[in-house]
A and B are shown apart, each in its own frame.
Chain A
Amino acid sequence: MLCSDIIRAVHAEPLVVSNEERLTKDYKAAFASDLMSDALALIQDEFEHTILITGLCNAQVLRTAEMLDLETVLFVRGKKLAGADLMMAQSMDINLFTTTYTMYETCGILYGQGLGSIS
C-alpha cells in the first residue's frame, strides 16, 4: 500500500516528513503496539517495508524505529510529539504521521485496504 494511500485512508496529518520520496513508497505491512519491546521482539523482517502504528508518544518510539530501521511511524488518537522529538525524528530520517482514529479503527481501515501484517 502506498504511503500516500495510507495517509489518505486514515486522514493522517504529517508531523515530520524527513524524506519526501517515501510518500510514494509501497509498504507491505504494519505492526501496531504500544509496547516497544513487542516491536523489538516481533518485527524481524521486511523492516524497510513495514510501518509502526502506536498510541505511545515519546522519544522511545523514535529510538525503537531507529534500531529497527523503520522509516515511517503513525501515531493514533491524534497524538503528537513535542518539538525536540520532532527534530530527533528529522535527524533519524523518520517520517511521522498522526491520525485521530483509534488504534482499532486505524488497523481495521488499513488492513481492510490491503496493508498486511508482519510475517
Chain B
Amino acid sequence: MNKILQKEFHVERDDYANAGMASSQIKSTLKQVGVDPKVMRRIAVAAYEAEINMIIHAWGGVVYLDVTEDGMIHLIFQDCGPGIPDLEKAMTPGWSTASKKARELGFGAGMGLPNIKRVSDEFTIESSPAGTSIFLTFRVEE
C-alpha cells in the first residue's frame, strides 16, 4: 500500500523534560492531514502512553508514523530494550513496575498498555530482551 505520509520520531531514554514531545508532533502532523478529531484523540492518547513507556521503562527508541492510501494510520513504537519479561502481566490493568520518578510524573498506574490497546483499532505487541515493538493501526474515519 502506498504511503502518503511517513515520519519518524526519536525518543531518548530518561528524557523526562521532553516526554510527550513526539506525541505532540504526531498530533500536529495528523492535524495537517485532516484526521477526524475523535480518531486523533485516540491516536494521541495511545502515542503518549507508548512514548512515556519508552522513556520510563525502556532505553529510548524510535516511533514510526505512516499514513497509507487506504485511509489507515500506522504507528510503530520500537524501543531498544530491555524488553518486557511477562507480557500477560504487563497487559493487566493496575500491574506496574514503574519507578518512583515515573510515579512523580503522574504515570506508573499500570494503565499504559491496556489503555493503548483500548483506543487502537488494531494492537500487536512483541517483546524480547533486544526490545519491545508495539504496532498500532487506526482508521482515519470513525
Contact = CB atoms under 8 A, between A and B. Distances in A.
Interface of A: 34-38, 40-41, 47, 54, 56, 58-61, 63-64, 66-69
B41 A63 contact: no
B23 A67 contact: yes
Contact of A41 (B20, B106, B115): B115
Nearest to A68: B41
A41 B104 CA distance: 18
B106 A35 contact: yes
A34 B37 contact: no
Contact of A37 (B37, B104, B107): B107
A69 B31 CA distance: 13
A63 B19 contact: yes
A66 B48 CA distance: 10
A37 B24 contact: no
B20 A59 contact: yes
A44 to B, nearest CB: 9
